[in-house]
């Protein structure tokens, strides 16, 4: 039973990360400044670690594994923790990848030699 629970949670984590990556890249991530992204990226990666450790501790405290299967409450806690961890890791990675690319110029470049009419 533990393998089935783990597999179901894994699918939820991967789908959640993919949905976040698509929505972030398409809509709201480009609106953040490069400075904000360079600050929020590492913070999100560290926050993901805190959420993961705290969530797994909460799942263990709620009963954990009994008779080869996660109890219902710890299973939900582990799945929700995994979704939050995946979201924070995806957001942090997207921020850092976006900052690592060269900035796009917004003004039209001037020609090196003016053209005569």
- Tell me which of 65 and 21 has the higher pLDDT: 65
Token pair 């698509």: residue: 22
**Token couple for 9:** 């949670």
Structure tokens at 104: 């796009």
Tens of pLDDT along 27-77? Answer: 777 788 889 999 999 999 999 999 999 999 998 898 888 888 888 898 999
Query: 70 with 2: CB under 8 angstroms?
Result: yes
CA distance 88 to 40: 10
Q: What is the DSSP string of 15-51?
A: HHHHHHHHHIIIIIGGGS-HHHHHHHHHHHHHHHHHH
């Amino acid at each position: 039973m533990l393998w089935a629970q783990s597999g179901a949670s894994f699918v939820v984590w991967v789908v959640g990360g993919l949905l976040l990556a698509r929505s972030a890249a398409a809509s709201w991530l480009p609106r953040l400044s490069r400075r904000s992204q360079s600050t929020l990226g590492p913070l999100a990666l560290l926050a993901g670690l805190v959420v993961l450790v705290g969530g797994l501790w909460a799942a263990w405290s709620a009963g954990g594994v009994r008779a080869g299967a996660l109890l219902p409450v710890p299973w939900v806690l582990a799945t929700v923790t995994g979704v939050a961890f995946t979201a924070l890791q995806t957001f942090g990675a997207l921020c850092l990848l976006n900052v690592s690319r060269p900035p796009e110029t917004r003004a039209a470049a001037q020609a090196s030699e003016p053209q005569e009419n």
